[in-house]
Copies of this chain bind each other. A is one copy, B any other.
Amino acid sequence: MAVALSPAVSLRLKPFSAVRFFSLYRRASKTALYHQIHHFHSYHFTPHPTPPLSTLNSHRGRSFCSVVSAALSSGEATKTESFDKEEVKIGEKVGEFRKRLRIVDIKGGPDEGLNRLDETLVVKGWVRTVRAQSSISFIEINDGSCLSNMQCVLSSDAEGYDQVEKGLVLTGASIWVRGVLVKSQGSKQKVELKVEKIVLVGPSDPSFPIQKKRVSREFLRTKAHLRPRTNTFSAVARVRNSLAYATHKFFQDNGFIWVSSPIITASDCEGAGEQFCVTTLIPGSRETTHTPVAAIPSTKDGLIDWSQDFFGKPAFLTVSGQLNGETYATALSDVYTFGPTFRAENSNTSRHLAEFWMIEPELAFADLEDDMACATAYLQYVVQYVLENCQEDMAFFDTWIEKGIIKRLTDVVEKNFVQLTYTDAINLLLKAKKKFEFPVKWGCDLQSEHERYITEEAFAGCPVIIRDYPKACLFPLDY
């Protein structure tokens, strides 16, 4: 991690810096601009050893975006301390970072928000639906922190209501609302926000493609920049985030060291799969697709001149960090990799991906029993973590995407994992009172129907590990 930590180097927000913090609204607010000009004219330099810092303004904490700042009346968005013009010093103390108040913080608890009744709250998010009635309007806002929207109720006396009346607040718009949390009259939620003020941060228009009706994933693939605003994709993002974090937590809590194995490599691994070539030999491929083959550096024999490539020889995307993981495991004892991995097989099935994130634990002084115990403990940990931390998202999947998924995952957490040898598995299948499409004999690779029989029928839904496969099943290409 190339984070520039040294205080001798100022932190610059520049495209090349290794850690970059960009906000989505980058325009300097009017307040900030004022300070800037102000400082410029009343410049007053205090030399070391009384650095300017000692009398710095204490800046406000988490502020609002500049669009909102401009819309809010003076002093509402910012609370910069006033200072005497003659005494001003250069430089300001960086403000305190505060966690944003999210809808999940309001509604995600066991009380579903009832514990915050009568509080004045600010919610920022994107409009899901607008229902305008004669004297009252309902706006559902989602901020991506959870599936649930915040229902906002606006009467005509709310500040900024004219924007709703004019039809400017549409599905997809980003808005800022402040209001009092009250008991909801509706049956769908316990609380709602009685809005005092609404600010339209970013407008939308009626052509916004993610409306309330369901759309196909094929359609969403053509709107990839907007699909995170759908229930399905935002739930997937949250669950995936939880799985990744739980993965780190499990291994860190068990004393494993995370190793970032190289992505660009000259190594292969166990013939794991086809590799992508990584090269700078094809000139201009960035700017145009009209690249003459003859422009590729070649030797006088017409061979590619790899010595002119970036690394001076062919390089590839990793298919596995195992080789590197092993060198660290035989020094640090227990390590894991967790990073992107690549396979160039042109196979369009649900079991093959060109790019995926893979976890590869390597245990020193351990045997297959430890290996299975670790795999089992890991799976039970991360599945339990998701069931506990993503309840709403998992309930959504259980209803709309894959019925029964919560029950099946609960089985993974609660049931014992079974391990048996390949030979035992074959015997079990041979004695089964069941007709299989693919005949069973020792040496055959197990098909889905065999695996289903073993897990679902023979072991009643327990996850099963089959070990001691014949070599020929694991490395078919070698035989």
With beta carbons under 8 angstroms apart, the residue of B3, B201, B419, B451 that contacts A9 is: B451
- Contact present for A293 and B303 (CB under 8 Å): yes
Q: Return the chain B residue nearest A461 by Cβ.
A: B7
- Contact present for B333 and A144 (CB under 8 Å): yes
- Contact present for A366 and B24 (CB under 8 Å): yes
- Contact present for B286 and A294 (CB under 8 Å): no
The 3 closest A-B pairs by CB, nearest first: A144-B332, A228-B331, A97-B377
Interface string of A198-242 (1 = CB under 8 A from B): 000100000000000000000000001110110001100110110
Given contacts A15-B271, A293-B304, 12 further A-B contacts (CB under 8 A): A2-B357, A16-B273, A27-B367, A48-B457, A56-B418, A65-B367, A100-B255, A201-B365, A233-B331, A262-B355, A277-B286, A282-B304
Q: Which residues of chain B are near A1, meaning CB under 8 Å?
A: 240, 243-244, 247, 356-357, 359
Min CB–CB distance A102 → chain B (angstroms) = 6
Q: Return the chain B residue nearest A238 by Cβ.
A: B257
Q: Which residues of chain B are near A45, meaning CB under 8 Å?
A: 428, 431
- Contact present for A416 and B53 (CB under 8 Å): yes
- Residues 124-181 (chain A) with a chain B CB within 8 angstroms: 124-126, 143-145, 174, 176
- Residues 405-440 (chain A) with a chain B CB within 8 angstroms: 408-409, 411-412, 415-421, 423-424, 427-428, 431, 433
- Contact present for B475 and A7 (CB under 8 Å): no
Stretch at the interface among A113-121, A189-197, A312-320: A312-320
A61 beta carbon closer than 8 Å to chain B: yes
Q: Return the chain B residue nearest A280 by Cβ.
A: B344
Measured in the bound complex, the distance between the Cα atoms of B461 and A52 in whole Å is: 12
Min CB–CB distance A289 → chain B (angstroms) = 5
Copies in the complex: 2
Interface string of A240-253 (1 = CB under 8 A from B): 11011101100011
- Residues 261-306 (chain A) with a chain B CB within 8 angstroms: 262-264, 268, 270-282, 285-286, 289-294, 296, 298, 302-304, 306
With beta carbons under 8 angstroms apart, the residue of B69, B201, B289, B423 that contacts A36 is: B423
- Contact present for B100 and A21 (CB under 8 Å): no
List 17 A-B pairs, Cβ < 8 Å: A2-B353, A7-B464, A19-B375, A21-B372, A22-B360, A22-B361, A23-B367, A51-B458, A53-B460, A92-B418, A94-B376, A95-B369, A97-B377, A145-B255, A260-B340, A277-B280, A277-B281
- Residues 38-75 (chain A) with a chain B CB within 8 angstroms: 39-40, 43, 45, 47-49, 51-53, 56, 59-66, 68-69
Measured in the bound complex, the distance between the Cα atoms of B247 and A272 in whole Å is: 31
- Residues 4-27 (chain A) with a chain B CB within 8 angstroms: 5-16, 18-27
- Residues 315-333 (chain A) with a chain B CB within 8 angstroms: 316-317, 322, 326-333
- Contact present for B377 and A24 (CB under 8 Å): no
- Contact present for A22 and B355 (CB under 8 Å): no
Given contacts A11-B465, A28-B368, A243-B3, contact A39 B424 (CB under 8 A): yes
Best-surrounded residue of A240, A317, A364, A372 (most CB of chain B within 10 A):
A364
